[in-house]
Chain A
């Protein structure tokens, strides 16, 4: 939408970062998922406006884009926190107490699966498997500096890790 006034007109202004992506992939058939992945990399999530923009530029119907976006677990339709906690719920992690780790995250941050903290620092996402099964239970935290994986978690360890990230995040904010 237009950000300059209240006209609520479709506007390309907010999507200048996405334009080169569409230029590169827009005409190649079968590239919808790639475009959505790049859009999410840029904005952190797929807003309705972004979906409409992609639809207008590629000629793919918005309903179809929405269908694809809601089919795959990777895509998010709402913004997320600065740090995305991907808590592994794979079989090995389940057997080794992933539920307890989720409990600890919830206790410490006050959020459940799919929720974001009020300060916007953390979002918790349960994921199927991170493939680090021999270090179970495991979580991956994706922040501004890339992603880091933490293994052999205990309730105390997960709180310590998240505490450290939070302190760092608050420092930057100050």
Chain B
């Protein structure tokens, strides 16, 4: 018997370490001798901390959810000692559906194996694919297998992986590099973090296979510094792989050398762009340069370099083991395989979901995510982060694949899926993303540097009630110019959040500009606070009001002086009777 506690960042944030320590303490106190292990994120982040109990045959006997430290005793007493599952703490049938309706290739091991143990990875079939490739396949055969699979880059652009590998293979250089982009910079996306934390060896193996295919002997993982746990587990994994001879010289006796090192990024969204990432690897400011030459010709230190995203690499061992055709059988005609999405925002069951390409959005949001928090009305889903766009409720039956999502004006992107309800203001969302891209623009291209700033200023004006006639048209004009006048993907896609919100929610822009109203009741300067009949005259709001705008006799309905009101919302927060109306 063994006990496993989910300890990805999300599990840890909900107290999983304390739960794990408490389990260990209780088990030791009773001398039960049952090991307490850790695993990565299984995906049901909303149920953390999650504790799995495996029976002596290694089968999952019970999965316990929301196990705060104080509940650990129950599991030890009744299950570990008493031999009976604690039914009321077990995962419900409905929550089980969250996982059962997924198809897991990238996340095949996440939440199941101990990410800090190479043995656990090997037991799950790990390092078999690299052995197969090295011993029985030529580099060309590996690339062919990837071509058959139809795998496309999971970082955002969706470029065929085999094509990049083939180009890097054909170019000559003194040395070649296989680089992994683990600088997951999209706000609202955490797919890569979960792979890094939950199954780091699958990334190493994928890079190794890629390295063999293109003829590289060195791999570099560019990982963001904001993911300390991911870096820690990667370091452990690399050390273990070296010790076991899965990294280093003469792998599997075939004469192929390959080693991997980690480079911690220092925080710059633009480094998601290949050429900027390379500049950063070289210790420079992460500014992109013109392509061609492409990294496949002149990349890291001017040598042929191939860059793929974490999720792309994590697919590779599975493809080599199971065959490209098996991968190609999943998904749609042009978008093969699965895609991992980070489902978050106003969703009931948020977490990581991996689904076959082509599944309708509705099935993801309602089927797996169980719909909108507090049963509010679904308004839109944001996909692709700052480079993507908002897909409105009317398009909820859109299949999730590269082509269909691009048609909506959004992009599949790296996999962020932020769900929004009726209380989310779409103009404010556009402002939010422009604020992000404006800060992250590296400044090289004028249109991106100055254009995003001007667009942000207009959006700030609109959300603070000072929008004027012609603003929407000006935004549209600027958007086109920025797309045309920027060199890299950051600038070329930065206007997308504005363009999609104008396309689908033009009425909200018009409400802000002409009626001075925010229909989502979110933009504070456009709100009016008033006190309804529900007021009991408790005086709490008038005491909390920082500008003494609320007057009224005790036990009598109060009133807000609109001239004085600064719309801070303190009255609404303090009211215990729901008697403050925001309009």
Which A residues lie at the B interface, using CB under 8 A? 29-34, 36-37, 67-68, 71-75, 86, 89-92, 94-96, 127-136, 138, 147, 149-152, 155
A152-B226 Cα distance, complex, nearest whole Å: 19
A138-B285 Cα distance, complex, nearest whole Å: 29
A134-B9 Cα distance, complex, nearest whole Å: 11
Asked whether B188 lies within 8 Å of A92 as measured between CB atoms, the reply is yes
Asked whether B187 lies within 8 Å of A89 as measured between CB atoms, the reply is yes
B13 sits at the interface (CB 8 A):
yes
Q: What are 9 contact pairs spanning A and B, CB under 8 A?
A: A30-B282, A34-B263, A36-B266, A37-B266, A91-B345, A92-B344, A132-B13, A135-B45, A136-B344
Chain B residue nearest to A130 (CB atoms) is B226
Asked whether A151 lies within 8 Å of B10 as measured between CB atoms, the reply is yes
Given known contacts A34-B263, A72-B267, A95-B420, is B190 in contact with A132 (CB within 8 Å)? yes
Which residues on B sit within 8 Å (CB–CB) of A91? 187-188, 344-345, 382, 385, 416, 418, 432-433
Asked whether B264 lies within 8 Å of A37 as measured between CB atoms, the reply is yes
Given known contacts A33-B266, A34-B264, A73-B266, is B226 in contact with A127 (CB within 8 Å)? yes
B interface secondary structure, majority: mixed
Task: Tell me the minimal C-beta distance from A5 to chain B in angstroms.
Answer: 35
Q: Which of B225, B226, B343, B350 is A131 in contact with, Cβ under 8 Å?
A: B226
Q: Which of B48, B185, B267, B432 is A94 in contact with, Cβ under 8 Å?
A: B432
Asked whether A72 lies within 8 Å of B283 as measured between CB atoms, the reply is no
Q: How many residues of B contact A (CB 8 A)?
A: 55
B212 sits at the interface (CB 8 A):
no
Task: Give chain B interface residues in 1-43, CB to chain A under 8 Å.
Answer: 9-10, 12-14
Q: A29-B301, A149-B13 are in contact. List 14 more A-B contacts (CB 8 A).
A: A32-B284, A33-B263, A72-B267, A86-B226, A91-B187, A91-B188, A94-B187, A94-B432, A95-B346, A131-B189, A133-B345, A135-B10, A135-B13, A151-B14
Asked whether A131 lies within 8 Å of B9 as measured between CB atoms, the reply is yes
Which residues on A sit within 8 Å (CB–CB) of B115? none
B354 sits at the interface (CB 8 A):
no
Task: Tell me the minimal C-beta distance from B506 to chain A in angstroms.
Answer: 21
A95-B428 Cα distance, complex, nearest whole Å: 10
Asked whether B418 lies within 8 Å of A128 as measured between CB atoms, the reply is no
Which residues on B sit within 8 Å (CB–CB) of A134? 10, 45-46, 342-344, 350-351
A127-B283 Cα distance, complex, nearest whole Å: 22
A71-B10 Cα distance, complex, nearest whole Å: 29
Chain B residue nearest to A152 (CB atoms) is B14
Which residues on A sit within 8 Å (CB–CB) of B10? 132, 134-135, 151
Q: Which of B285, B344, B432, B433 is A133 in contact with, Cβ under 8 Å?
A: B344
Task: Give chain B interface residues in 206-233, CB to chain A under 8 Å.
Answer: 225-228
A68-B385 Cα distance, complex, nearest whole Å: 26
Task: Tell me the minimal C-beta distance from B68 to chain A in angstroms.
Answer: 13
Given known contacts A37-B266, A131-B226, is B345 in contact with A30 (CB within 8 Å)? no
Task: Tell me the minimal C-beta distance from A141 to chain B in angstroms.
Answer: 11
Which residues on B sit within 8 Å (CB–CB) of A132? 9-10, 13, 45, 190
Given known contacts A72-B266, A72-B286, A73-B266, is B342 in contact with A33 (CB within 8 Å)? no
Task: Tell me the minimal C-beta distance from A72 to chain B in angstroms.
Answer: 3
Chain A residue nearest to B419 (CB atoms) is A95
Task: Tell me the minimal C-beta distance from A172 to chain B in angstroms.
Answer: 21
B186 sits at the interface (CB 8 A):
yes
Q: Which of the listed residues A89, A135, A149 has the most CB atoms from chain B within 10 Å of its own CB?
A: A135
Task: Tell me the minimal C-beta distance from B424 to chain A in angstroms.
Answer: 6
B573 sits at the interface (CB 8 A):
yes
Which residues on B sit within 8 Å (CB–CB) of A138? 13
Task: Tell me the minimal C-beta distance from A140 to chain B in angstroms.
Answer: 8
A29-B282 Cα distance, complex, nearest whole Å: 7
Chain B residue nearest to A69 (CB atoms) is B266
B281 sits at the interface (CB 8 A):
yes
Task: Give chain B interface residues in 146-190, CB to chain A under 8 Å.
Answer: 184-190
Rank and list the top 9 A-B pairs by shortest CB-CB distance, nearest first: A91-B188, A134-B350, A72-B266, A134-B45, A133-B344, A32-B283, A90-B187, A131-B190, A149-B13
Q: Which of A67, A89, A149, A152 is B12 in contact with, Cβ under 8 Å?
A: A149
A149-B11 Cα distance, complex, nearest whole Å: 10
Chain B residue nearest to A90 (CB atoms) is B187
A74-B461 Cα distance, complex, nearest whole Å: 30
Contact with A along B120-149 (1 / 0, CB 8 A): 000000000000000000000000000000
Which residues on A sit within 8 Å (CB–CB) of B357? none
Task: Tell me the minimal C-beta distance from A138 to chain B in angstroms.
Answer: 7
B268 sits at the interface (CB 8 A):
yes
Given known contacts A131-B184, A133-B342, is B424 in contact with A31 (CB within 8 Å)? no
A96-B187 Cα distance, complex, nearest whole Å: 13
Which residues on A sit within 8 Å (CB–CB) of B48? 135
B436 sits at the interface (CB 8 A):
yes
Q: Which of the listed residues A30, A67, A127 has the most CB atoms from chain B within 10 Å of its own CB?
A: A30
Which residues on B sit within 8 Å (CB–CB) of A131? 9, 184, 189-190, 193, 226-227
